[in-house]
Chains A and B, each alone.
Chain A
């Protein structure tokens, strides 16, 4: 199964066929999700209209974790089976993941201000997200720091895997740290009682974010495959 898509040339063909479908799916899902979320769902009885931030915040936070896991799986496949496409997929996922992590933090902050009265608290979830953002940024910095792209790919793949083991440990330590320092009452947010009319826009937006990720991934992987071809052609010209 994996090998059918593993060949870069075949991937290029499949990707260029799949891309418009994915793009339309993203636009449709996001459109419906936005319509339901902004116009056709009730305000929360506790949080009022501010609950609508949830429809972008929660999917972004989900995608932040999802992208890191995907990146780690791709990096692992790339390291063990030396699969060029997996390496490219890991590299292409990083900016999207960093973008979603930043958005989760940013929208969380905008949601926190009216709800908790502050832009930022050193809450366990927020703090772990912040660390995750720096893991993404470290990965991007490392992969771009080498003159030989193959070296950068391998080094940063190892870093993702080290990070993957570390993420739960960091989560655990931040939780511990947080129970020590958190002033007890600030963050007792039991979450809005999710009504079905809120669940639909949330799910649609989450799906839209996922197809968006696939969309960007396809474009980026195509770009990276072509960029590899360019490098090989240039080398051939120099040596030939």
Chain B
């Protein structure tokens, strides 16, 4: 637990010191959503119809964008190897870094989401479920993404490669995240979708932590 907090604090400190990084991700997220009405036209009912999908896809892309640096910097300057030599298990380190990633990118996305929902003419019930779905869903994105970020350590063209291998794996989160909002807007219950998103998170937590730790282990061997 101590090791977890140490790594988490360290990563958060770094993120705050280079605050511009997570700000860029949020700006990217907002910009994608803002660009959409220019593509599909400003009719309020069309925007309301695609709102949840647009916000989720933008969140997916923003999360992919920020993941490349999750382990890369620490890998290049050797601190990842130092961390792995310490008494703290690599899995704990991964978990701490994923938590820091979610706090610096996932959480800001959730905070900006209401603003975007208003721009896209989403109603109040939809917004509420969207926030809930993002709260349950984005941690899974960070977890699955951490596996991708660990796999590409030392690879050429890491960023594009990461998007290529991670986006197909994001598909379940996208489907249930969007369908939760769609259900509530069309007058159904969204409980099932939210529960499934929760189940994804619970399954991803041990599996992705283990997979990411294994990939890091073989990267710094």
Measured in the bound complex, the distance between the Cα atoms of B165 and A142 in whole Å is: 8
- Asked whether A151 and B164 contact (CB < 8 A) given A142-B152, A162-B147, the answer is no
Are A141 and B218 within 8 A (Cβ)? no
Contact assessment for B179 and A180 in the assembled complex, using a CB-CB cutoff below 8 Å: yes
Flag whether A203 is at the interface (Cβ < 8 A).
no
Q: Which of A155, A161, A165, A172 contacts B152 (CB 8 A)?
A: A155
Roughly how many angstroms separate A177 CA and B183 CA in the complex, as a whole number?
A: 12
Check B155 for interface membership: any CB of A closer than 8 A: yes
Q: How far is the CA of A139 from the CA of B219 in the complex (A)?
A: 17
Interface: B171 (CB within 8 A): yes
How many angstroms from the CA of A137 to the CA of B152 in the assembled complex?
15
Among A138, A155, A177, contact of B179 (Cβ-Cβ < 8 Å)? A177
Complex-state Cα separation, A14 to B206, whole angstroms: 42
Q: How far is the CA of A88 from the CA of B157 in the complex (A)?
A: 23
A154 CB contacts on chain B under 8 angstroms: 215, 218
B211 at the interface (CB under 8 A from A): yes
Q: Which residues of A contact B211 (CB under 8 A)?
A: 158, 161-162
What is the distance, in angstroms, from A100's C-beta to the closest C-beta of chain B?
A: 18
Interface residues on A, range: 20 to 34
Residues in B neighbouring A146, C-beta threshold 8 A: 154-156
Given A141-B165, A158-B214, A170-B168, are A147 and B179 neighbors across the interface (CB < 8 Å)?
no
Q: Given known contacts A155-B215, A158-B215, is B168 in contact with A138 (CB within 8 Å)?
A: yes
Q: Find chain B residues with CB under 8 A from A151 CB.
A: 154, 218-219
Q: A174–B175 contact, CB under 8 A?
A: yes
Task: Kindly state the separation between the CA atoms of A219 and B3 in the bound complex, as whole angstroms.
Answer: 50
Query: Beyond A145-B156, A146-B156, A170-B171, is A138–B164 a contact (Cβ under 8 Å)?
Result: yes
Cα distance A166–B214 when bound, in Å?
Answer: 18
A169 near B172 with CB under 8 A, answer yes
Chain A residues within 8 Å of B171, by CB: 131, 170, 173-174
* B161 interfacial by beta-carbon distance below 8 Å: yes
Task: Answer yes or no: B5 CB below 8 A from chain A CBs.
Answer: no
Answer whether residue A205 sits at the interface, using C-beta atoms and an 8 A cutoff: no
Residues from chain A with a CB closer than 8 A to the CB of B58 are none
User: In this assembly, does B202 line the interface, its C-beta being within 8 Å of a C-beta of chain A?
Assistant: no
Q: Which residues from 157 to 197 on chain B have a C-beta closer than 8 Å to any C-beta of chain A? A: 157-158, 161, 164-165, 167-169, 171-172, 175-176, 179, 182
Bound CA–CA A135/B148 (angstroms): 13
Say if the beta carbon of A163 comes within 8 Å of chain B. yes
Interface of A toward B, CB cutoff 8 Å: 131, 134-135, 137-139, 141-142, 145-148, 151-152, 154-156, 158-159, 161-163, 165-166, 169-170, 172-174, 176-177, 180
Nearest 6 pairs between A and B by C-beta?
A138-B165, A145-B155, A173-B172, A173-B175, A177-B175, A134-B168
| Apart from A145-B152, A155-B218: 8 A-B pairs, beta carbons within 8 A | A142-B152, A146-B156, A152-B155, A155-B215, A158-B211, A173-B171, A176-B176, A180-B182
Residues of B within 8 A of A (CB): 147, 151-152, 154-158, 161, 164-165, 167-169, 171-172, 175-176, 179, 182, 200, 207, 211, 214-215, 218-219
